[in-house]
Amino acid sequence: MSNLIQFLNGAFGRVVRVALGVAFIWYGLLVLGGTAGAILAVVGLVPIGLGVRGRCLLELVANKTAGTA
């Protein structure tokens, strides 16, 4: 899993996460619409925020579970 986290924290991985977040927002607002679309659009903000910040959600989860083991 560490190779995946290293990739996602790299420059290309960050761009992929931001693009995925934009795709979620676009799909949610323009294709789905309604409440489900709004929820998907808000969920799309997570990969954008983490991509800009430079941290991967998998890294945060892995650190949390590693601390409890």
pLDDT tens sequence across 17-69: 899 999 999 999 999 989 999 999 999 999 898 888 877 777 777 776 766 55
Domain range summary for the chain, segments of one domain joined by +: 1-6+21-62
pTM for the model: 0.74
Q: According to the model, what pLDDT value does residue 2 have?
A: 78
Residues 6+ apart with CB under 8 A from 14: 8, 51, 52, 54
**Tokens of residue 53, six digits:** 């910040």
Residues 6+ apart with CB under 8 A from 42: none
